[in-house]
Chains A and B, each alone.
Chain A
Amino acid sequence: MTAHSVQRPHALSIENLSLEFPTYAGAVKALDGVTIKVGNAEIVGLVGESGCGKSVSTMAATRLLPEGRYKITQGSIRLFGRDPMAMDEEELQQVRGKLVSTIFQEPMNALNPTIRIGQQLVSVIRRHEALGRKAAEAVAVNILADMLIPEPARIMQAYPFELSGGMRQRVLIAMAFSCNPGLIIADEPTTALDVTVQAAILRLIQGRARRTGTSVVFISHNIAVVSQICDRLYIMYAGRIVESGPTRAVLDRPQHPYTRALLRCLPERVRPKEPLESIPGTVPNLLDPPPGCFYRPRCPEADARCMEKPHSTALPGGQAVSCWQRAGHPSHPSSEVPS
């Protein structure tokens, strides 16, 4: 970017992105016109069921999807203004870990079982920073301590199998933050952990990101988890963004029927002994999706208009929704908020 551009580019900007996985049975349309913007120092949540395209969106941005096995049919991706699709292998390696780090879901297998924790951290730090071994080790010990890992110097000498799942996830978060990246993609980082550990891990990511001004994309299927730490939310369904907006607004005035259904399913919202709600029906088959709105087959409000694909409608307060029932009369549903 040029020196006199007024606005810094978004940390991550995905614009109208459509992506398919060709298979023998036909193309699986994993993403359909997805637009996600993550500003600087902003923490953004990406919420949806398994297979709705949350991870695919971010892995496309870091080019971690298997090369040659997917096809981008439209749209663009920018990481801090740069196009990852135009980068060669060397550029990508310099971006990964330095500009954008990813924390994955499975802390049990995400660390190499045959290499000491310290060595794994040091090799990432030395890949991106011009530091000697001793200096890199000092950085590593510091960041481990910052992740509230007891006896970081001893942990440096340990192998992953000697640590608990929560400790390993702290190590992975430390690794992700170790080169002070501008953007962290946290792909369900707490899903495999005990509920008691989850909150602590969330606070670690949030705290460090706020202190360092790092942008975060937080992926989860649990709207309650993301709403604790995110400034804004994107709700995804079957490869499309159905609703987006500031966390408070989306939680207080959910516009899309799917968002509302998600909120109704939260155990926290149900009184004891009452049956837990679930959304009837299943996610559409992305090999052969239904016409119009993908949520239509499961939607209690669907009518004839929903046979056409809904457009994204901007609402006051920064919210946006893709639903025919909200197009044109944005204030209508707020009275029906589930409590």
Chain B
Amino acid sequence: MTITRIIVPRLILLFFVVFGVAIITFAISHLIPGDPARLIAGDRASAETLENVRRDLGLDRPVTDQFVIYVRNLLHGDLGTSLRTRRPVAADIATFLPATLELGLLSLVLAVLIGVPLGVFSAIYKDGPIDQIARTVSVCGISMPVFWFGMVVILLFYAKLQILPGSGRLAMAFAAPQRVTGFFLIDTLLEGRFDAFLSAVRHLILPTFVLAFANLGVITRQIRASMLDVLQEDYIRTARASGLRRRVVIFNHALRNALIPSITLLGLALGDLLYGAVLTETIFAWPGMGTYVVTSIQTLDFPAIMGFTVVASIGYVLINLVIDLAYMLADPQIREVG
């Protein structure tokens, strides 16, 4: 009942968002000076070649027709052909997106697994040593730029100590696994190549940690603040006055309520990973969406940029949907009343 009431409007919204994004990306690609045909054919191409390329791309048709074709292709999952890689943009994204998701999801999990308990204990032992450490860590996480922290980490663990790799997803010696999920951690295991799996793990450690660190700071602070609020609540006093175990009071009674205001933040953190990934991937030469879009921008690869924008905006709408569903799970007042 309530689930459909939340999901259906979001899906309708998704349609409008994608349509809006399509208009904007299409308009920008036509307003920006520069001739895609010239970019493809090269500077020394003859007028005849240019004309042929234009016809191939459909650029000789009226703008309205071009837009209709563009949207129709979008609906069929056809994001156009990259000018740089000469491959379908959809195929490129399918190659690079899993790398970003693997890095992003892992670092989000890491940030939550460390940040939530750190925030909880920081609140319980307010002003104690744990709290001081947690607050220092979160200030560092929030204020240290990812590109600087990333380079320091590479310098230390890769260049000086030489204990961890500093770039790529896999050591040179290993061939990339056959793509099943696109997650190297899963695909290498599916092929039973345990040594390749270990190499993938070692390559993930530094970028995951760097990307997680910033979010960890934000999550720790948020959980600490909302725990401090909740621990003052009357129902916590009730729980303590009825003799419930401290562990139960803190994790069942307090954390459950403290998580509600943190859900939005976690959703935003998930979205931020897309930005964070651009910087982190560039530093660690991680072959993901960040690297792909940065290179596409540098080479004015319009179909790739447009494709990325469309996929990213769909991602944002889906994240918002997940946030709303998570709210429903966490807060009975939303679940039962809607």
Contacts and interface: CB of A to CB of B under 8 A. Distances in A.
B241 to A, nearest CB: 4
Contact of A97 (B241, B330, B336): B241
Interface centre among A89, A159, A172, A176 (most CB of B within 10 A): A159
B34 interface: no
Interface residues of B, number: 24
Interface in A43-84: 62, 64
B237 A104 contact: yes
Interface centre among B241, B260, B332 (most CB of A within 10 A): B241
A64 B241 contact: yes
B47 to A, nearest CB: 71
6 contacts: A114-B256, A115-B252, A123-B252, A124-B242, A159-B336, A175-B238
A101 B235 contact: no
B243 A96 contact: yes
A159 B233 contact: no
Contacts of A106: 234
Given A113-B257, A113-B333, A124 B248 contact: no
A109 B257 CA distance: 13
A274 interface: no
Q: Which 3 A-B pairs have the closest CB atoms?
A: A97-B243, A97-B242, A96-B243
B242 A104 contact: no
A175 B332 CA distance: 21
Contact of B332 (A94, A101, A109, A113): A113
Nearest to B246: A89
Contacts of B246: 89, 93
B60 interface: no
A104 B333 contact: no
B232 to A, nearest CB: 10
A252 B285 CA distance: 89
B332 A159 contact: yes
Interface in A92-117: 92-98, 101-102, 104, 106, 109-116
Contacts of A97: 241-244
B153 interface: no
A96 B252 CA distance: 18
Nearest to B234: A109
